[in-house]
Amino acid sequence: MKKPNGIARRAAGLLSGAALTATALIGTSGPAQAYGTNPVPDHFTYDTDTCPCSGGNLTDPFDGTYFEYDAGGRAQKVELYSGDWFIGKVEFHPSSEKLWIYDTRNDGDTFYVKATYRHNGTTHDLGTFSAPGTSAVMDYTVKDFDLPEGSGVIFWLYDESGERDYFGSGSGIA
Ligand SMILES: [Ca+2]
Ligand SMILES: [Ca+2]
Ligand SMILES: [Ca+2]
């Protein structure tokens, strides 16, 4: 559902290569409470009136990104880097209003995403989320909201729990 089968198969091949690399690094990376230097976000925004969208700058070393058509919607993918490492990504999908949160590096650390939406002049808190931290290189969680079409979505990125160490944000239209 996230992407056509061909792309998923290709991504699976890439992922197993990435998994081997990361497994070799586990022994050398100690646990960290937060990134010493905050992760740096890189944004990619798509008007979903013109989707389905994939490929190009929606390609990444993990599973790639596929945005479905959603009238009036605006999708956004935020890639997160720590130095040269691709440590995670967050995607807002206007179709069915889903937020995908990925942790893509076994570095003993993760980040937190607080999601909000604004409708009829009022901002609503949807909660704060993070991907599970397992031994898999790519961990992700998907939040399936049900938001009014056209409402504004903003998500806030924090390096530490409790909404501490803010380092960026992302946005979209439901
Ligand atoms: Ca929608
Ligand atoms: Ca991590
Ligand atoms: Ca992991």
Residue ranges per domain, the chain?
Answer: 5-173
Q: Report pLDDT for 33.
A: 64
Cα Rg of the chain (Å, integer):
16
Q: Does pTM top 0.85 for this prediction? A: no
- Residue 141 to residue 89: CA distance in whole angstroms: 11
- Residue 48 to residue 76: CA distance in whole angstroms: 10
Ligand nearest to the CA of 108: 2
Angle CA(156)–CA(130)–CA(168) in degrees, nearest 5? 25
Ligand nearest to the CA of 73: 1
Ligand nearest to the CA of 92: 1
Q: Report pLDDT for 32.
A: 54
39 CA → ligand 2 middle, Å? 11
15 CA → ligand 3 middle, Å? 12
Q: Is the distance from CB of 22 to CB of 83 less than 8 angstroms?
A: no
Per-residue pLDDT of the chain (174 residues; tens, 9 = 90+): 344 444 444 444 444 444 444 444 444 444 456 888 899 999 999 999 999 999 999 999 999 999 999 999 999 999 999 999 999 999 999 999 999 999 999 999 999 999 999 999 999 999 999 999 999 999 999 999 999 999 999 999 999 999 999 999 999 999
98 CA → ligand 2 middle, Å? 21
- Residue 116 to residue 131: CA distance in whole angstroms: 18
